[in-house]
Chain A
């Protein structure tokens, strides 16, 4: 199975478009997932009875195969990018919710009590004490969700909008491996770069973890 290099150089514009569209779908889903999971995680963390319900519900959602999720959304949002983004968001939610709850749980009770004793209000404690301290665990979830979303975009190719996944359909229909190989490699590269950027972001956002390690 050899790669047709001239096909790649002839299609650089298409490849750029597909890569950007791929990335846009994945990143939108992760951002939406974060926006939805943060308040849910706070609720799950603070209201014990709801915790099992929310986490259990998200686990069941994760059990449903991605292609089924996309297909089940068809009557709701049709063959559009919206379907792709909603489907991906559902997947990111599972990881983000679990990790954010775990992150909030990992904040020592003493730290929260100290904040309370200093007269810090609950919302302020959440924003300035709990969330920053939970950040390493939350970021671990963001990294998993991002890599997963990037790899899952191509599944949406069956409902007509799969970013780099279109290369798989194209290669399959013409019995021509080059686009498929290029699609797999570009997807892996995107995931790798996104993951590396998130590690850097976490490094910048949590300077105290660095101090602890070097001490």
Chain B
């Protein structure tokens, strides 16, 4: 066990390992690219949907059941299926990743919108605010904490699933996991897993930091 950790440490700090077109640096950049782009696309789709459902109250059934469906969907199967359906290109991986990220963002955005006190909404309307003013100046800021939670959840899921994408012959940090498993090289497998976990933890911390920065100047929540 001790030997294994020593080898793992050596693997992670080896300079040669980090350089080159199939080095850790490249794999890390690929992993970040897949994860961030997929989450951005998912947010671009899911945020307006969640906001609209929350604002109008229409389609609430969809928003609630989407999350349960998203949780039940086997990620591995989805990636392989989209891959087989479309052949060897990069976009199946993005489709699968986006499909996984959308439910958490939609449901959390919706949950954030419904958590807004109806009296606050009525007061805004009573002051003569138009619907888009109510949405963007009142509801959205109040719903933001839960929306951010949804984004963080989605990003973690996507970082995890981007690992699986390497299984269908794409890059990213998953390469080490699958190459290592194929070569019975446990150090490489563990190295890949540790790096993926680190990326997930660091990105989650970064987003929670961003969330705190966004809320620093906001008044305390009323009881």
The chain A residues found within 8 Å of chain B, CB to CB, are 1, 60, 62-68, 71-72, 74-75, 144, 147-148, 150-151, 154-155, 157-159, 162, 164-165, 167-168, 171-172, 175-177, 180-181, 183-184, 187-188, 191-192, 195
Contacts and interface: CB of A to CB of B under 8 A. Distances in A.
Q: What DSSP secondary structure best describes chain A's contact surface?
A: helix
A185 to B, nearest CB: 9
A70 to B, nearest CB: 8
B76 A60 contact: no
Contacts of B163: 65, 67-68
Interface residues of B, number: 40
Contacts, number: 125
Interface of B: 1, 4, 68-69, 71-78, 80-81, 83-85, 156, 159-161, 163-164, 167-168, 174, 177-178, 181, 186, 189-190, 192-194, 196-197, 200-201, 204
A171 B84 contact: yes
B71 to A, nearest CB: 5
Contacts of B193: 65, 67-68, 71-72
Contacts of B159: 65
6 contacts: A66-B160, A67-B160, A75-B4, A155-B76, A180-B81, A188-B69
A157 B76 contact: yes
A1 B197 contact: no
A187 B73 CA distance: 7
Nearest to A149: B71
A115 to B, nearest CB: 27
B11 to A, nearest CB: 14
A168 B73 contact: no
B156 to A, nearest CB: 6
A157 B181 CA distance: 12
Given A67-B160, A155-B76, A192-B72, A181 B81 contact: yes
Given A64-B200, A65-B163, A151 B84 contact: no
B73 A75 contact: no
A19 to B, nearest CB: 13
Contacts of B164: 67, 155
Contacts of B76: 154-155, 157, 162, 165, 168
Contacts of A175: 84
Nearest to A159: B181
A109 to B, nearest CB: 16
Most buried by A among B76, B78, B204: B76
Given A68-B196, A74-B186, A151-B72, A177 B156 contact: no
A168 B77 contact: yes
A172 B4 contact: no
Nearest to B78: A184
Contact of B1 (A75, A164, A187): A75
Contacts of A162: 76
Contact of A151 (B1, B75, B81, B204): B75
